[in-house]
Amino acid sequence: MEYKDTSDIEISLLLDAVYKKYGYDFRQYSEAHIRRRIMNRLTLSGLGSISQMQDFVLHDKSFASLLIQDLSITVTEMFRDPDFYKALREKVIPVLKTYPFIKIWHAGCSTGEEAYSMAIILREEGLYERTTIYATDFNQQALNKAKEGIFPAGLMKEYTLNYQLSGGKESFAGYYTSSYDMAIINQALKKNIVWANHNLVTDSVFAEVHLVLCRNVLIYFERSLQNKVQKLFYDSLTNGGVLCLGSKESLRFSDLQGEYAVLDQKRRIFKKKYE
């Protein structure tokens, strides 16, 4: 990182402190993302400088936890980008149907909405009973919320529309029960999901899988870290396995661009070539 002013140096030292004290490595995240989140926390905290924030991070675990939550990525929704899920049904499900047992990795699953979306598709395609979904994130609070599967009822109208546009085959209301102002995901959709803490930046291969979904996470990483994580996905996939990235992400210019065949360029769906 090229240091343009004092705040750049302060941010670099702050990220070093977070990594050395707590083991969370944000040093290769997008500079714009990191700066925006840190400055927002600085404003909310009323502290006078980033250097003062570093002192709080080193000596106040609760404050450090707040900052780590700020820096993590938790933007998600059920059937986000319906066109992607429609392409998933049409181009990936036929590949998965060739396997007697299916393993899927949702990397950076946040609060679980997209993992539950996948569970619904697999159920409708007759594949859920022979599938294990590994849903991972380094944000334990987000994982806890994902396990609960309880979401604001006010979101269900939007999620229902997403589901319908994605090619949903049943009534979306049948996948949750309403309780006051909350919607509770049906237990049947949870039984084959394994929630686990995993950090894409610092941890190794999680499992050998047939499908990796990591959508709209890599855009927050610098190029070198993107390459490192893409290598992690490549090593996790079986031959012929499928990788799904976000709409603003790509394998173009990556070290592994030539190792995948394109299933759907617009929706960022790629198939690992046979070695």
Q: What is the pLDDT of residue 15?
A: 92
Are 97 and 59 contained in the same domain? no
Tokens of 50: 């980033």
**153-189 pLDDT tens trace:** 999 999 999 999 999 999 999 999 998 899 999 999 9
Strand residues in the chain grouped as ranges (E): 102-107, 131-137, 150-152, 176-179, 182-185, 193-197, 209-214, 237-245, 260-264, 269-272
**257-270 pLDDT tens trace:** 889 999 999 999 99
Domain count, the chain: 2
Closest CA to 110 of 88, 143, 133: 143
The answer to whether residues 229 and 218 touch, using CB atoms and an 8 Å cutoff, is yes
Residue range 216-231: mean pLDDT, rounded: 89
**57-102 pLDDT tens trace:** 999 999 998 898 888 877 789 999 999 999 999 999 999 999 999 9
CATH of the domain at 132: 3.40.50.150
Residue range 6-34: mean pLDDT, rounded: 88
Domain end call among 41, 71, 101: 71
Whether residue 220 lies inside any domain: the answer is yes
Three-state DSSP class for 4?
Answer: coil
Q: What is the pLDDT of residue 216?
A: 86
Q: Using CA atoms, how far apart are residues 61 and 123, in angstroms rounded to an integer? A: 42
Q: Using CA atoms, how far apart are residues 215 and 238, in angstroms rounded to an integer? A: 19
Are 156 and 216 contained in the same domain? yes
Q: What is the pLDDT of residue 147?
A: 96
- The pTM score is 0.87
Whether residue 76 lies inside any domain: the answer is no
| Domain coverage including residue 65 | 6-71
For tokens 């986000």, name the residue: 80
Whether residue 77 lies inside any domain: the answer is no
